[in-house]
């Protein structure tokens, strides 16, 4: 994993005055080019790395910087560990990476670090017991790290299945779903794929040279949202507060509330509203109300068939 590798590089440079890029590449089983990209990232983070020429040359931290292990404070380490806790790592990776990070501070701070960093836990498993990722996210991460092509079957929103071969670039977690930003060879352009719609994943032996692309805060397509007005039974008030915030709920009478609901035009959201049956009525806009009625009538016709 890139983050763990960069932390390890920093630690090695703390202990060694100079070390060659070739040796680092061999240690981490990556290419020298990958090491130089990591060094660039470390430089951008404010730790000045310099390359020394010659037979005995290599990479080192600038002498004038006089970096010490005190570079990372207790709050810094807590932030690092909390961040790592939000990444889907294997147990071995978690143990190794956290042990390395904790080694940056004196032993008397370890208990404080563990206590505070464990206050935040990220769990990606579903309460419903449903497997949320049909593909192996560990395999995807390995392909990302070593620039391997991925091949898989993909279902789009319309239910159409296509075979895709991609150059993976970035994993994204948004709105309770995992996505991968990649260059799709069949579309000859960058695309974003939802992992839950992927199947038959293969990490190919074939590798690619990474393309230049602009990293944006979000590469997911923008979805047009509007606010609709619902009249909802009190029994659904807790669910509505979880979904859209209690500030968007107003009392209507003793048994019902008005909900200002963020709405996106999709079968999923229409189905979400319809599942509440007679406990949820769309008051406005009229276009959404009519569409809900049309869908209800279609369901009724289905069950009235002889």
Per-residue pLDDT for 285 more than 60?
Answer: yes
Domain residue ranges of the chain, discontinuous segments joined by +: 2-117, 137-207, 225-303
Per-residue pLDDT for 231 more than 60?
Answer: yes
The second-level CATH assignment, the architecture, of 2-117 is Orthogonal Bundle (1.10)
pLDDT band at 91 (very low <50, low <70, confident <90, very high): very low
pLDDT in tens, 36-60: 888 888 877 777 788 777 767 788 8
pLDDT band at 207 (very low <50, low <70, confident <90, very high): very high
Phi, psi of 224 (to 5 degrees): -70, 120
Per-residue pLDDT for 138 more than 90?
Answer: no
* Range from 88-97, 174-183, 246-255 that averages highest in pLDDT: 246-255
User: Mean pLDDT throughout 14-22?
Assistant: 76
Predicted local distance difference test score (pLDDT) of residue 268: 80
Structure tokens at 49: 């790395």
Cβ atoms of 13 and 19 within 8 Å: the answer is yes
Residue among 19, 20, 21, 45 at smallest CA distance from 34:
21
What CATH class does 137-207 carry? mainly beta
Per-residue pLDDT for 282 more than 70?
Answer: yes
Per-residue pLDDT for 66 more than 50?
Answer: no
Residue among 136, 130, 170, 164 at smallest CA distance from 150:
164
Mean of the per-residue pLDDT values of the chain: 78
Structure tokens at 260: 């200002």
Residue among 237, 244, 235, 236 at smallest CA distance from 263:
244
Q: Is the peptide bond before 285 cis (omega within 30 degrees of 0)?
A: yes
Cβ atoms of 211 and 167 within 8 Å: the answer is yes
Q: How do beta strands 58-61 and 249-251 pair?
A: unpaired
E strand or H helix that includes residue 12: helix 2-15
Structure tokens at 266: 């999709």
What is the model's pTM? Answer: 0.51
């Amino acid at each position: 994993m890139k983050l763990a590798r960069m932390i390890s590089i920093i630690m090695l440079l703390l202990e060694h005055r100079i070390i060659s890029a070739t040796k680092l590449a061999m240690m981490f089983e990556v290419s020298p080019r990958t090491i130089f990209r990591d060094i660039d990232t470390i430089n951008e983070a404010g730790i000045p790395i310099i390359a020394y020429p010659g037979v005995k040359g290599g990479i080192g931290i600038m002498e004038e910087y006089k970096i010490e292990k005190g570079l990372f404070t207790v709050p810094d380490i807590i932030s690092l560990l909390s961040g790592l806790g939000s990444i889907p790592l294997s147990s071995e990776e978690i143990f190794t990476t956290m042990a390395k990070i904790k080694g940056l501070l004196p032993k008397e701070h370890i208990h404080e670090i563990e206590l505070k960093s464990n206050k935040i836990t990220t769990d990606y498993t579903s309460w419903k017991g449903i497997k949320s990722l049909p593909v192996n996210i560990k395999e995807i991460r390995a392909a990302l790290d070593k620039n391997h092509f991925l091949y898989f079957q993909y279902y789009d929103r319309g239910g159409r299945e296509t075979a895709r071969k991609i150059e993976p670039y970035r994993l994204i977690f948004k709105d309770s779903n995992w996505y991968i930003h990649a260059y799709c060879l069949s579309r000859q352009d960058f695309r974003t794929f939802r992992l839950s719609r992927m199947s038959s994943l293969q990490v190919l032996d074939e590798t690619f040279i990474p393309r230049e692309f602009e990293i944006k805060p979000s590469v997911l397509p923008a979805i047009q949202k509007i606010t609709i007005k619902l009249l909802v039974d009190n029994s659904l008030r807790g669910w509505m507060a979880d979904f859209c915030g209690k500030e968007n709920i107003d009392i209507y009478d003793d048994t019902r509330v008005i909900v200002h609901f963020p709405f996106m035009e999709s079968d999923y959201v229409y189905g979400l509203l319809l599942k509440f049956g007679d406990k949820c009525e769309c008051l406005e806009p009229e276009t959404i109300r009519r569409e809900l009625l049309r869908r209800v009538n279609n369901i009724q016709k289905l069950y009235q068939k002889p």
